[in-house]
Structure 1
């Protein structure tokens, strides 16, 4: 049976992994990754399109001249994209988030198993927890880099605005605000780091204790050992 200390430490790491899993699910399910104000001009008028969207769907509203709202509607992100770049990047982000979700799930399984069983000396032990948590954190970091790249370099908001309202003409400027669905991914990285640190401190303390128990034999006089 595992010691109380081991159970408590791995149970704490398990809680962090489960929270990480839940936060990734929230990020995938909610559509508040980005709010954009995209401005267009034509010979007769100036139009602003207000967008709020996530990885799968969003809403858009059109304002003409002095703030007169013309129309608003919901849209599917994939259907509004015509550029291969933007569509491929969005697909890559979704795939990477799913991989991060699976990594968090595996890490949760590893920490739960170790909390109720004796320590493993194989990949199923602390090494496995380090690996899956690190992968999850790396996937999230890549996602947080790719999404702004798709906004700034590939003009994702502009393309979605044109997909909502085909009559838009010359794009003049845009203003972007990242929503909570994007920023909560920082919490996933923090939880992954916390889980790794918890297991590291437990493993380090166990190793130090083992060395202390071996030390009296190491420093004992040779004649005593021979006797």
Structure 2
């Protein structure tokens, strides 16, 4: 059976890993990654399209000459993107987040195993926790980088607006605001760092105690008589 210290430390790490898993689920499930105001110039009027979307779906609304407000439409991101590069980028972000989710799940499993038992295999101990938490953080950070790249390089909001309203003509300007679905990925990275830190302190304390128990014989008490 594991010691109380190990149970407490790995139990705390298990909680942070589980929170990370839940947050990634929220990131994938919610569609508030981006809010955009995209302005187009037509022959006789200007049009502004307001978009709120995520990786899978979103909503768009159109206003003409800042006066006439048309009804809000719901759209699917994949269906509104005719550009293969933009669609591939969104697919890549989804795949990376799924890998991050699996890494977080494996990290939760490893910390839970160490909370209730003492696995003999080295990788099932702290090394495994370091590995899966690091991968989870790297995958999440990669997704955070790729999404803005897709917005800027592929003009994602413009293409989605044109997919909603086919008659839009010349794009004038765009204004973007990242939503909570995007920013809470920072919480995932923070939770992974906390998990690694907790296990590092446990592993360092255990190593120090082991070294202390293996002190050289010259450090033994001088009054010991050897026969």
Q: Could you say which TM-score interval applies, normalised by the shorter chain?
A: over 0.9
Report if aligned partners of 1:62, 1:69 keep a CA contact under 8 Å in 2: yes
Q: TM-score, with normalisation over the residues of structure 1?
A: 0.96
Aligned to 1:58, what secondary structure does the other structure show? strand
Give the unaligned 5+ runs of structure 2: none
Runs of 4+ more than 2 Å apart: 216-227
Aligned to 2:124, what secondary structure does the other structure show? coil
Report if aligned partners of 2:107, 2:128 keep a CA contact under 8 Å in 1: yes
Give the unaligned 5+ runs of structure 1: none
**Alignment-derived partner of residue 125 in structure 2:** 125
Relative to structure 2, which stretch is displaced further, 111-120 or 21-30?
111-120
Aligned to 1:215, what secondary structure does the other structure show? coil
* 1:221–1:64 CA distance, 2 compared to 1 (3 A): same
Query: 2: CA distance between counterparts of 1:86 and 1:218?
Result: 69
Relative to structure 2, which stretch is displaced further, 64-73 or 93-102?
64-73
Aligned-CA RMSD value = 1.7
**Alignment-derived partner of residue 45 in structure 2:** 45
Report if aligned partners of 2:62, 2:72 keep a CA contact under 8 Å in 1: yes
Report if aligned partners of 2:48, 2:66 keep a CA contact under 8 Å in 1: no
Q: TM-score, with normalisation over the residues of structure 2?
A: 0.96
Aligned to 2:189, what secondary structure does the other structure show? helix
- Where do 1:74-113 residues align within 5 Å? 74-113=74-113
Q: CA deviation at 1:220?
A: 3.5
**Alignment-derived partner of residue 219 in structure 2:** 219
**Alignment-derived partner of residue 143 in structure 1:** 143
Residue 72 of structure 2 is aligned to residue 72 of structure 1: yes
Report if aligned partners of 1:2, 1:119 keep a CA contact under 8 Å in 2: no
Q: CA deviation at 1:172?
A: 0.4
Count of matched residue positions in the alignment of Structure 1 and Structure 2: 227
Query: 2: CA distance between counterparts of 1:117 and 1:57?
Result: 43
Aligned to 1:43, what secondary structure does the other structure show? coil
* 1:119–1:199 CA distance, 2 compared to 1 (3 A): farther
Query: 2: CA distance between counterparts of 1:93 and 1:225?
Result: 69
- Where do 1:12-51 residues align within 5 Å? 12-51=12-51
**Alignment-derived partner of residue 180 in structure 1:** 180
Query: 1: CA distance between counterparts of 2:143 and 2:225?
Result: 60
